[in-house]
């Protein structure tokens, strides 16, 4: 299979125009670290952003960075760190979960709207994404947004590109709003709480004036007891003050420890990357977004019919659930739960046969599906860009 | 008066009676406004220089009524201009003669408050401030705070993706919206998102925010509510040189401090606002910053100390930290009344471009030159943290030709914003005001892609059709 590696936007435009005229179906990729996610699809060739690399603009005082889409995330993170800044949304690294190698690219972070624990406080990748350049399925180079953080000029196609998994266009350059890295991070840990009690504690913390930047709950597993994590970041004096206040506020949930330094960082990384679930590689992994207080009911419902394991991020609103790799890998139980409690579930890890057989993304109501198909056609009339990666026929 | 309206569709005008009768069968009599006198209240919005009398005005009370009205208009090819409170500064809600106005202001109830999940579900005609007021007893608030928050509706906020003075920390509407109930032109009711983060599938919520009423009519919304900080206090810093104020902003952000608000005013703006609000603004400086930080008293003191230390090298002529609630209120009263206070001394048009903040001194000098070249004056207030400028170009309506000059100067300023890497509008929207300037920022491929997306929702250009896109070069379905 041919892999195209355009050197610039013009190149990408030529490749895609030609594919459009011949009806050549294209897979879109960076370095392919997330190739095993989404619906498996049949394509004739692929187009990779691997030769589109490099930071094109970085103005620390303006809190903005632009990079060509194939730039490794690690390079962006390093460049920002050198000036004491970071990507506010703390993008997850899917490699450990998927057992993938290679360098994740910044284009994929945009295209898949990849966020982490700080999403509850600082927004998702799509909230920090302020500009994109892409080539649509007609081969036209299109821009939307720009490099300024307040911009309401015209329809916000930036948001449509975020989370469209390469089905609407091939990103060539992305621009993100960034933030200063906090001087200090500290985590309050409460042990031994049952799920519903833990989510109650997290809701209290998130409903406090103390700007919690991470709120996760890891239920008891193996020989380890449950731990409920509440993260604070900021200037050191402020972190001290807020830790004290939070402890006082959450007193009724029992004693708490404070975790700082490398151990705490590693813990949040395992929450971010969902590696808490990866100890058993022979299980499917689902990612569910629902209202925080519905999280415990959701998991309890799923556990009625499945041998499920799980943990909570986003104050209870993000569920990572692992299920046995049997039958539909739990799809019908998960879908039933999303219908009952609201939200949506995505099958993140499963063999291709299962991802072909079940809906990987939450099925949508007919009227929304009609809009989805219409939008796909408006960007990619011949249906050549990552066809079927999200939904059949899209 | 340089902005054109499309020629009204004579066939629709001729059918006015039939259309009004049809609408009358869909809503209660008091929800349909037909008489010329009463329709006049809806002929303009915040861009009062432009007026168009609508065919009729209908003020539905439910999603079902909105659905019936849109289906009726779609079947009969009648244009619809959606309206919240009509506070748009860019003419986003200005009607046209062959269109009906569909106002959502009667649908203004709170539907559900959930403090544990930190969400509020509301009907879309509720005011922006109405949401904050409904949750303030628990110490919560709704973050985006446009200056018009007393009057503007959440429907309008969604349509324009409204911002405010505190969006540096809390984001704009699109960052605070979780779900909507929206009625499509054919009457279909869709639910997008819900009470969870990140809606499924394509980010339709993100697309709807800022779509200026061209994709559908939002009737209900679920928004995030936040717990308010323990306290907030502003400081005033006055500088002799514009460059120093700009460099000070860069230094504060460079030191890792993101104030909750960072507002800039130039000398004319300071003088106008001080005369109105008696806020204690320094009158002998060229530029002034209002920097607000949040937290406990101790945290605020610590942060303001840091800011004052960072500012020292830029030799501020005035440095004043608010010592009381009353003083803080006065400082904000001055800034928030900038538009109203300017309106007392002159007619003005308010621009809304955004620029990369590093370009600030250059842009302010150029704005001064541009406005002077038209023989007019300008006062500048803007959100310094994010580069969103609000130059108020002042003129006298009674002098023939001055308004046209002001509009020309405004156009030149917006062109400048785009040239330095910014955009035409940061938070007010395109509406009719900047519709014909879109080609400054976008090329044909950019605009056509936007229009194709628009076409998915409204292939015949019936929803708010005279807005956003230049009248020339529109794509048919």
Residues A64 and A101 in one domain: yes
Phi and psi, residue B128, nearest 5° = -55, -50
Non-local (6+) Cβ contacts of B31 within 8 A are: B58, B59, B60, B61, B65, B106
Mean pLDDT confidence for B363-383: 95
Residues A110 and A173 in one domain: yes
Contact A152 B211 (CB under 8 A): no
Contact B358 A364 (CB under 8 A): no
How far from B11 is each of A1, A381, B98, CA to CA, in Å?
Answer: 57, 34, 9
The pLDDT score that the predictor gives to residue B147 is: 86
* Min Cα separation A63/chain B (Å): 8
Given CB atoms, is A142 within the 8 Å cutoff of chain B? yes
CB A214 within 8 Å of CB A271: yes
* Min Cα separation A222/chain B (Å): 30
Contacts of A154 in chain B (CB under 8 A): 430, 438, 441-442, 446-447, 450, 468
What residue in B sits closest to A60 (Cα-Cα)? Answer: B254
- Return the residue in A89, A155, A210 with the most chain B beta carbons within 10 A, the one to mutate for interface testing: A155
Residues A110 and A176 in one domain: yes
Strand (E) or helix (H) holding A59: strand A55-59
The pLDDT score that the predictor gives to residue A230 is: 98
The pLDDT score that the predictor gives to residue B18 is: 97
- Please count the structural domains in chain A: 3
DSSP 3-state helix, strand, coil percentages of chain B (rounded to 5)?
40, 20, 40
Strands (E), B142-244: 177-183, 189-193, 217-224, 226-227, 232-239
* B418-453 per-position pLDDT tens digit: 999 999 999 999 999 999 999 999 999 999 999 999
Contact A156 B204 (CB under 8 A): no
Residue A53 lies in a domain: yes
Strand (E) or helix (H) holding B339: helix B338-345
- CATH number of the structural domain spanning residue A24: 3.30.465.10
Contact A151 B204 (CB under 8 A): no
Residues A8 and A114 in one domain: yes
pTM of the full structure: 0.97
Phi and psi, residue A252, nearest 5° = -65, -10
* B244-291 per-position pLDDT tens digit: 999 999 899 989 999 999 999 999 999 999 999 898 999 999 999 999
CB pairs under 8 A between A and B: 251
- Return the residue in A64, A136, A150 with the most chain B beta carbons within 10 A, the one to mutate for interface testing: A150
Mean pLDDT confidence for B229-242: 95
What is the CATH number assigned to the segment(s) B10-103? 3.30.43.10
The pLDDT score that the predictor gives to residue B1 is: 58
Please identify among residues 81-100 of chain A the ones whose CB lies closer than 8 Å to any CB of chain B: 84
Give the Cα separation of B91 and B433 in Å (integer): 6
- Return the residue in A117, A152, A213 with the most chain B beta carbons within 10 A, the one to mutate for interface testing: A152
Residue A326 lies in a domain: yes
Residue A116 lies in a domain: yes
Contacts of B356 in chain A (CB under 8 A): 59, 62, 64, 147-148
Kindly report, as residue ranges, where domains of CATH 3.30.70.2740 are found in chain B: 346-435
Give the domain-ending residue among A122, A155, A180: A180
Given CB atoms, is A41 within the 8 Å cutoff of chain B? no
Range of the domain at A347: 275-357
Q: Does the pLDDT of residue B477 top 70, yes or no?
A: no
Residue A117 lies in a domain: yes
The pLDDT score that the predictor gives to residue B333 is: 87
Q: How many CB atoms lie within 10 A of CB B401?
A: 9
Contacts of A168 in chain B (CB under 8 A): 202
What is the CATH number assigned to the segment(s) B232-329? 3.30.70.3450
Residues A150 and A225 in one domain: no
What residue in B sits closest to A241 (Cα-Cα)? Answer: B299
> For residue B211, what are the β-bridge partners?
none
How far from A317 is each of A200, A230, A310, A313, A343, CA to CA, in Å?
Answer: 12, 14, 12, 6, 9
Contact A156 B441 (CB under 8 A): no
Q: Average per-residue pLDDT in chain B?
A: 95
CB B104 within 8 Å of CB B82: yes
Contacts of B353 in chain A (CB under 8 A): none
Q: Which residues of B112-121 are buried (b: 16+ CB within 10 A; e: fewer)?
A: ebbebbbbbb
- CATH number of the structural domain spanning residue A239: 3.30.70.2190
* B146-166 per-position pLDDT tens digit: 989 999 999 999 999 999 888
Q: What is the DSSP letter of A24?
A: -
Domain B346-435 coded CATH 3.30.70.2740: yes
Contact B450 A155 (CB under 8 A): yes
Give the Cα separation of A64 and A59 in Å (integer): 6
Residues A168 and A252 in one domain: no
Given CB atoms, is A59 within the 8 Å cutoff of chain B? yes
Phi and psi, residue B227, nearest 5° = -75, 130
Kindly report, as residue ranges, where domains of CATH 3.30.70.3450 are found in chain B: 232-329
Q: Does the pLDDT of residue B476 top 80, yes or no?
A: no
How far from B16 is each of B13, B21, B67, B81, B237, CA to CA, in Å?
Answer: 5, 9, 20, 16, 58
Residue A374 lies in a domain: no
The pLDDT score that the predictor gives to residue A11 is: 98
Given CB atoms, is A124 within the 8 Å cutoff of chain B? yes
Residue A390 lies in a domain: no
Residues A171 and A213 in one domain: no
Tens-digit pLDDT profile for chain A (394 aa)?
899 999 999 999 999 999 999 999 999 999 999 999 999 999 999 999 999 999 999 999 999 999 999 999 999 999 999 999 999 999 999 999 999 999 999 999 999 999 999 999 999 999 999 999 999 999 999 999 999 999 999 999 999 999 999 999 999 999 999 999 999 999 999 999 999 999 999 999 999 999 999 999 999 987 889 999 999 999 999 999 999 999 999 999 999 999 999 999 999 999 999 999 866 678 999 999 999 999 999 999 999 999 999 999 999 999 999 999 999 999 999 999 999 999 999 999 999 999 999 999 999 999 999 999 999 999 999 999 999 999 999 9
Give the domain-ending residue among A144, A165, A180: A180
- CATH number of the structural domain spanning residue A328: 3.30.70.250
Residues A223 and A190 in one domain: yes
Given CB atoms, is A123 within the 8 Å cutoff of chain B? yes
Residues A55 and A15 in one domain: yes
- Return the residue in B171, B203, B475 with the most chain A beta carbons within 10 A, the one to mutate for interface testing: B203
Residue A377 lies in a domain: no
How far from A215 is each of A184, A207, A275, CA to CA, in Å?
Answer: 17, 11, 16
How far from A258 is each of A239, A261, B41, B73, CA to CA, in Å?
Answer: 11, 10, 60, 61
Residue A44 lies in a domain: yes
Give the Cα separation of B320 and B308 in Å (integer): 9
The pLDDT score that the predictor gives to residue B165 is: 80
Which of A127, A126, A5 minimizes the C-alpha distance to A68?
A: A5
Sign, Cα dihedral of A293, A195, A275, A99: negative
* Min Cα separation A283/chain B (Å): 24
Query: What's the token pair of residue B307?
Result: 């800011």
Residues A346 and A283 in one domain: yes
CB B330 within 8 Å of CB B277: yes
């Amino acid at each position: 299979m041919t892999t195209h590696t355009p050197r610039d936007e013009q190149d990408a435009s030529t490749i895609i125009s030609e594919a459009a005229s011949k009806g050549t179906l294209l897979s879109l990729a960076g370095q392919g670290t997330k190739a095993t996610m989404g619906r498996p699809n049949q394509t004739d060739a692929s187009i990779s952003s691997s030769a589109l690399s490099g930071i094109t603009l970085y103005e620390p005082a303006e809190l903005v960075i632009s990079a060509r889409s194939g730039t490794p995330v690690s390079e962006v993170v390093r460049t920002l760190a050198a000036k004491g800044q970071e990507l506010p949304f703390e993008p997850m690294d899917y490699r450990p979960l998927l057992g993938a190698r290679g360098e994740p690219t910044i284009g994929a972070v945009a295209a898949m709207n990849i966020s982490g624990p700080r999403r509850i406080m600082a927004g998702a990748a799509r909230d920090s994404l302020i500009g994109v350049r892409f080539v649509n399925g007609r081969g036209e180079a299109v821009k939307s947004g720009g490099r300024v953080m307040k911009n309401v000029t015209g329809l916000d196609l930036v948001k449509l590109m975020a989370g469209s998994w390469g089905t609407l266009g091939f990103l060539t350059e992305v621009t993100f709003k960034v933030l200063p890295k906090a001087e200090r991070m500290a985590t309050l840990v409460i042990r031994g709480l049952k799920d519903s009690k833990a989510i109650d504690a997290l809701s209290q913390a998130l409903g406090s004036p103390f700007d919690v930047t991470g709120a996760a709950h890891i239920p008891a597993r193996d020989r380890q007891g449950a731990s409920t994590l509440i993260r604070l970041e900021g200037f050191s004096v402020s972190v001290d003050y807020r830790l004290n206040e939070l402890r006082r506020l959450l007193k009724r949930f029992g004693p708490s420890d404070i975790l700082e330094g490398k151990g705490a960082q590693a813990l949040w990384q395992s929450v971010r990357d969902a590696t808490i679930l990866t100890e058993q590689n022979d299980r499917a992994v689902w990612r569910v977004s629902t209202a925080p207080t519905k999280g415990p009911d959701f998991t309890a419902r799923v556990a009625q019919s499945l041998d499920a394991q799980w943990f909570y991020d986003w104050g209870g609103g993000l569920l990572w659930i692992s299920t046995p790799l049997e039958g539909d890998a739990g799809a019908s139980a998960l879908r039933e739960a999303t219908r009952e409690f609201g939200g949506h579930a995505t099958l993140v890890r499963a063999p291709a046969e299962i991802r072909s057989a079940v809906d990987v993304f939450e099925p949508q109501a007919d009227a929304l599906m009609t809009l989805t198909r219409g939008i796909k056609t408006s960007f990619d009339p011949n249906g050549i860009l990552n066809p079927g990666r999200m939904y059949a026929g899209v | 008066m340089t902005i054109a309206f499309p020629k009204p569709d004579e066939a629709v005008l001729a059918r006015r009676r039939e259309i009004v009768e049809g609408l009358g069968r869909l809503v209660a009599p008091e929800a349909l406004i037909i008489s010329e006198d009463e329709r006049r209240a809806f002929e303009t919005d915040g861009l009062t220089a432009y007026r168009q009398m609508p065919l009729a005005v209908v003020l539905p009370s439910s999603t079902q009524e909105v659905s019936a009205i849109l289906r009726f208009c779609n079947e009969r090819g009648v244009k619809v201009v959606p309206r919240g409170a009509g506070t748009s500064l860019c003419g986003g809600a200005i009607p046209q003669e062959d269109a009906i106005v569909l106002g959502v202001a009667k649908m203004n109830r709170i539907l559900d408050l959930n403090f544990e999940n930190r969400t509020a579900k509301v009907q879309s005609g509720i005011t922006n401030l109405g949401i904050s007021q409904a949750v303030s007893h628990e110490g919560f608030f709704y973050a985006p705070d446009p200056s018009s928050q007393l009057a503007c509706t959440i429907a309008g906020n969604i349509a324009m993706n409204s911002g405010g003075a505190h969006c540096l920390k809390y984001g704009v509407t699109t960052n605070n919206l979780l779900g909507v109930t929206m009625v499509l032109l054919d009457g279909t009711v869709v639910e997008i998102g819900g009470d969870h983060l990140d809606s499924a599938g394509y980010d339709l919520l993100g697309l709807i925010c800022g779509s200026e009423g061209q994709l559908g009519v939002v009737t209900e919304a679920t928004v995030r509510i936040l717990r308010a900080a323990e306290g907030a206090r502003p400081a005033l810093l006055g500088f002799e040189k514009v460059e120093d104020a700009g460099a000070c902003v860069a230094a504060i952000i460079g030191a890792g401090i993101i104030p909750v608000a960072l507002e800039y005013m130039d000398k004319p703006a300071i003088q106008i606002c001080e005369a109105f609000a008696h806020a204690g603004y320094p009158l002998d400086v060229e530029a002034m910053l209002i920097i607000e930080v949040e937290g406990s008293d101790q945290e605020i003191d610590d942060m303001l100390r840091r800011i004052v230390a960072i500012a020292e090298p830029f030799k501020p002529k005035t440095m004043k930290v608010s010592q009381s609630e009353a003083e803080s209120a006065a400082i904000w009263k001055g800034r928030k009344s900038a538009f109203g206070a300017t309106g007392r001394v002159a007619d003005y048009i308010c621009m809304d471009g955004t620029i990369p903040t590093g370009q600030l001194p250059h842009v302010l000098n150029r704005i001064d030159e541009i406005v002077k070249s038209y023989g007019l004056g300008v006062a500048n207030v803007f959100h310094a943290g994010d580069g969103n400028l609000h130059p108020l170009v002042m003129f006298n309506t009674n002098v023939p030709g001055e308004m046209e000059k002001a509009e020309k100067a405004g156009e030149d300023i917006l062109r400048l914003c785009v040239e330095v890497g910014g955009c035409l509008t940061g938070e007010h929207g395109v509406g009719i005001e900047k519709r014909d300037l879109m080609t400054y920022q976008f090329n044909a491929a950019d605009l056509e892609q936007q229009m194709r997306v628009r076409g998915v929702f409204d292939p015949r250009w019936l929803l708010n059709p005279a807005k956003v896109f230049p009248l020339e070069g529109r794509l048919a379905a």
